[in-house]
Structure 1
Amino acid sequence: MGLPKVLFNIAKDGMNRTGNNIQKVTGLIITGSGVASKVELGKSYQVFSLNEAVALGISEAENAFAYKHIKAFYDQAPTGTPLWVMLVSDATTMTAMLDKDGAFAPTLIADAKGAIRVLGVVKKATGSETIAAGLDTDVQTAVVKAQAIAEHFEKKYMPFRVVVSGNSWNGKVADLTNFSENELNKVACFIGNDDKEKEASVGLFLGKMSSIPVQRKIHRVKDGSVLPLVAYFTDGTTIDSKADQWDALDDKGYIFFRTFVGRSGYYFSGDNTLTKPTDDFKSLSSGLVMDKALLLAYGALVEELSDEVLLSEEGSIHPAIIKSWQTKLENTLQSEMVSKGELSAVNINIDPEQKVLQTGKVVVGLKLLPVGYADFIEVNIGFTTKKEEN
C-alpha cells in the first residue's frame, strides 16, 4: 500500500462541457487545372491559408481563377480558417458538381466527414454559354441539384447549404426566374462580383460566411463593408447602375452587393434562399441555426439509442428518464447556442404517455426560439411645440 498519503481523484465532467465543436466550415468546388506532383482534379484538399493553397499549385500562375477565389476567401476569413477545396475541369458544369450521384460534391462532403456547413460552386465562364431565364442554363439546373444533394446529406446528419454562382446574367431583371415562387430553401444564388467577370465572387462570399456566427446575417451593417470601391453584377455592369432595380432583384430571391447612403463601400444585399417568403428557411442564417441545433441534438441523444427506457407502474415513461433527457438536451443547446446569442431560448417536451413498449420509439418535442432581426426600421419623425415625456 505504501506510505500513508492523501490522494486526489480529479473529476473531469463537473463543468457539463458538451464536447461539441460544430464550426461553420465551408467548401468550394471550382474550375481549375491539375498541377504535376501537386493538386489533382476531382480530389479533396483542406487548406488553412492562401499560402497552403499556393503550395498545392493553386497559385496565380498555375490556377489563376481558383487562386482569385481562395485569396478573396482569406481576405475575409483569418488565416487558420479551414476551407475544403476541389478543382474540376473547365468542362465540368455546376450541375455536375452538385449531382448527388456524381463524383464531385459527394466526394468532398464525405472526405470532410460531414463537417462542411456551406458549399459554394463556381464554374469559369467560357463566353459560349446558352442563356435561359437571364442566366447560364447551367445555373437553372444546378440549383435544383443543389437542393437534392443537401436534402440527401441532411438525412445522413451532414446538413449544409449551397451557394451557386449566378453566371453570365444578361442584365435584364425581367428575364430572371422568380425564385421566391420555388421551394429550394437550402440554396442561394449570388450574382455579384468585384471584377466585372461573368462569375460571382463565391470565394469572398464563403470567406464572409466563415467569419461570422451561424445566426448572423451576411449583410449585417455593423460588420462593415466587404468591398471598398466598386462592385458589379455578373453582366459586367456596376451595382450602382441598377440601383432602381435592387428591390426587384431581392424580391426574386437573388443575392448581390448594395450600398447605403452616407456609408462607404459595398455590402451584401441579403442572405435569401430560393424559396417562398413564408418559408422558415427563407434565409441562410435560419437554415444554419437549424443545422447546428440538429447536430447538437443528435450528439446529445445518439448515446441514448437502443438504451433501456424505464417505465412507471402505470406504463408511462419514468419521470427520471424524461428529466435526464430534457436536461441533457437543454444543457447542450443552452451552452452551445443560447449562451452565445445564436438562439433566444429552447423548449423541450417529452410526452410521458408515449407507448414505448409497443412502438420502441420515443418522440422528443424540441422548439427553438430564434433571434430576431432589425431588417426594417421605421421611424416616425416630426416637429413638436414642446418636449413630451415618453
Structure 2
Amino acid sequence: MKPKLSISFNNGVIGAVTPLDTGCFGIVASAVAVVGGFQLDTAYQVKSMKDVADLKLVDSIDNHRLFKALDEFYAEAGAGSEVWIYGISKTKKVSEWFTPVAGIAPVEHLLNSANGKIRGIFTVNDSSVAPTVTAGMDDDVLIAAGKAQTLFENYTAQKYAPYFTILEGYAFSGVKTALTDLSTLSHNAVGILIGDTEPLTGITSSKGAAVGVLAGRLAAYPAKVNAGKVINGALKAPKLFINDTPVENYDCEALYDKGYITFTTHQSRAGYFVMDDPLACDPDDDYHYLSRRRTINEAFRLCYDALLDFLLDEVPTNANGTIVATYAKTMESAVERKIYNNMASDLSRDENSINDTGVKCFVDPMQNIVTSSRIEVVVKIRPFGYNRWIDVVLGFELNS
C-alpha cells in the first residue's frame, strides 16, 4: 500500500437535535463491566451512539439489552439527546435498585450524579435471578413499583427534583386476564410498559420491554406531548411484539384497560404507535397520565427555583403583622414569570386574552408572617386536554 495521509470525520459531537431539558432521562440496567470501559455502579452521560461506543459498550451477550435500549433510544430521539446510564450487577433484582442501602438506593447515585437533571428513569432488567411469575408477570415488578414510588416521594421532598419511573412488565406470561389492574394502585409517578422489539423466543429472547423506544419518543417532544400522539408519526421500530405475537395481532387494548403502557397500530397508518401513557394509579388521580406528571414535575422545579430567592428574606409587614400587599404581589409575579417563561408551550391558555398565561400564583397578604414565619403560596397551572375519544355522528343530508 502506498504512503498516504488518512483523515476521518468525527461524528456525533455536535448532535443532530436540539435536546430538551425535559427529555433528559436515565437508563438503569442489569449489566456487565467492560475492561477499560463501562463499569458498574458508575454514572455515565452519553449524547450519541458514538459516546456509547467510547465506553466500549457493544451489542454483546453480556450487555445486549442495555445496548439495544440505547440504540433504540437514539433511533427515535436522534443524536444529541442526553441520557445517563447506570449499570448494576445481574445478581440483583430491580426492586433492589430502589431499596436504600445505608440510607441511599442505587438509583439515587444516578440521580445525584446528574445533579437533578434527570426527568425520568427507565429500567432494563437482564437479571440472572429467575423471575417468579405471579399475576401474569414477574412478581418483583410490582414490588419495584411500590419502592420506586416511595423513592420518588422521598427524593422530591429532599432534592426538589421530581421525575418519573418506567418499569418493564418483565416476564409477562401473555395471559392478559392474569395481570393486576394498575388502577387499584397509587403509584402516580410509575408506569409499566409491555411490548418489545424482540420476541420472547428467538436468537435474542426478550422477557422485557422496548423502554428505549418509549424513552426516545418522549425525549423528542415537550413534556405536554402524549407519547402516542398520532400526528407525530409512527415509531421508528420496524416490528413490535407482545411476547411472540406481533402487536397488531394481540389484544393490546386489554393491557391498556388494566393500566399498562403498550403499543398499537392504527388503520390507514403505517407502523406502530404508543397506545397512551397511563401510570399505575386511579384514573381519577390528577397525575394518572405521564404527560400530566411530566408537566407538573416541570412546574414543581420552576416553582422551587423562583421561591428559593425568598427563603429567609425580610418581609415588610403591616401594623398587625400581615404582609404588605406589594411584597405578596412580588412573590406572585416571580413564580408566574418563571413558570411561564420556561413552560409557555406546555401550558394551556386563552390566546385571545393577553392576561391569560396558563399559570396563577396567589399569596394571601392577610397571613401573619410575624407570628408564624410561614407564608402559604398557592400555584395553579392549566393543563391541556387530550382527544382520547372522538365520537362522530355520520349520515346523509337531504334538502327538500
TM superposition score normalised by structure 2: 0.87
The question of whether the paired residues in 1 share the 8 Å contact of 2:131 and 2:138 is answered with yes
Q: Distance in 2 between matches of 1:271 and 1:99?
A: 26
Structure 2 CA distance for partners of 1:229 and 1:287, relative to 1, 3 Å: same
The question of whether the paired residues in 2 share the 8 Å contact of 1:125 and 1:199 is answered with no
Q: Distance in 2 between matches of 1:103 and 1:317?
A: 42
Q: Offset at 1:386?
A: 2.5
Q: Offset at 1:54?
A: 1.3
Hey, what does 2:51 align to over in structure 1?
Answer: 52
The question of whether the paired residues in 2 share the 8 Å contact of 1:92 and 1:123 is answered with no
Q: Offset at 1:52?
A: 0.6
Q: How does 1:107-256 map to 2 (within 5 A)?
A: 107-124=109-126, 128-156=130-158, 157-196=160-199, 197-227=206-236, 229-233=238-242, 235-243=243-251, 246-256=252-262
Q: Offset at 1:24?
A: 2.9
1:296-345 deviation line (CA, Å, top 9, x unaligned): 1111110110101101234321111012111111111221113x244431
Q: How does 1:301-320 map to 2 (within 5 A)?
A: 301-320=307-326
Instruction: Provide structure 2 residue ranges, at least 5 long, that are not aligned to the other structure.
Output: 1-19, 200-205, 350-357
Q: Offset at 1:115?
A: 1.1
The question of whether the paired residues in 1 share the 8 Å contact of 2:224 and 2:294 is answered with yes
The question of whether the paired residues in 1 share the 8 Å contact of 2:37 and 2:56 is answered with yes
Q: Distance in 2 between matches of 1:100 and 1:222?
A: 42
Q: Offset at 1:127?
A: 9.0
Q: Offset at 1:65?
A: 2.3
The question of whether the paired residues in 1 share the 8 Å contact of 2:228 and 2:276 is answered with yes
Q: Offset at 1:229?
A: 3.9
The question of whether the paired residues in 2 share the 8 Å contact of 1:30 and 1:88 is answered with yes
Q: Distance in 2 between matches of 1:324 and 1:86?
A: 42
Q: Distance in 2 between matches of 1:177 and 1:126?
A: 24
Q: Distance in 2 between matches of 1:341 and 1:97?
A: 32
The question of whether the paired residues in 2 share the 8 Å contact of 1:97 and 1:121 is answered with no
Hey, what does 2:108 align to over in structure 1?
Answer: 106
Hey, what does 2:86 align to over in structure 1?
Answer: 86
Q: Offset at 1:28?
A: 0.4
**Secondary structure class of the residue paired with 1:86:** strand
Instruction: Provide structure 1 residue ranges, at least 5 long, that are not aligned to the other structure.
Output: 1-20
Hey, what does 1:38 align to over in structure 2?
Answer: 37
Q: Distance in 2 between matches of 1:114 and 1:294?
A: 13
Q: Distance in 1 between matches of 2:238 and 2:211?
A: 18
Which deviates further from its counterpart, 124-133 or 247-256? 124-133
1:130-177 deviation line (CA, Å, top 9, x unaligned): 201100122121111111111111102021100001111111111000
Match of 1:323 among 329, 340, 345: 329
User: What amino acid maps onto 2:361 in structure 1?
Assistant: I
Q: Distance in 2 between matches of 1:214 and 1:229?
A: 25
User: What amino acid maps onto 2:165 in structure 1?
Assistant: V
Structure 2 CA distance for partners of 1:125 and 1:306, relative to 1, 3 Å: closer
Q: Distance in 1 between matches of 2:395 and 2:279?
A: 38
TM superposition score normalised by structure 1: 0.89
The question of whether the paired residues in 1 share the 8 Å contact of 2:195 and 2:241 is answered with yes
The question of whether the paired residues in 2 share the 8 Å contact of 1:35 and 1:57 is answered with yes
Hey, what does 1:363 align to over in structure 2?
Answer: 376
Q: How does 1:370-389 map to 2 (within 5 A)?
A: 370-386=383-399
The yes-or-no answer on 1:270 pairing with 2:271 is no
The yes-or-no answer on 1:260 pairing with 2:266 is yes
Q: Distance in 2 between matches of 1:228 and 1:135?
A: 24
Q: Distance in 1 between matches of 2:170 and 2:296?
A: 29
**Secondary structure class of the residue paired with 2:165:** strand
Q: Distance in 2 between matches of 1:82 and 1:358?
A: 47
The question of whether the paired residues in 1 share the 8 Å contact of 2:347 and 2:382 is answered with no
The question of whether the paired residues in 2 share the 8 Å contact of 1:227 and 1:267 is answered with no
**Secondary structure class of the residue paired with 1:113:** coil
The question of whether the paired residues in 1 share the 8 Å contact of 2:148 and 2:190 is answered with yes
Q: Distance in 2 between matches of 1:182 and 1:304?
A: 37
The question of whether the paired residues in 2 share the 8 Å contact of 1:22 and 1:292 is answered with no
Q: Offset at 1:218?
A: 0.5
Q: Distance in 2 between matches of 1:191 and 1:317?
A: 53
Q: Offset at 1:230?
A: 2.6
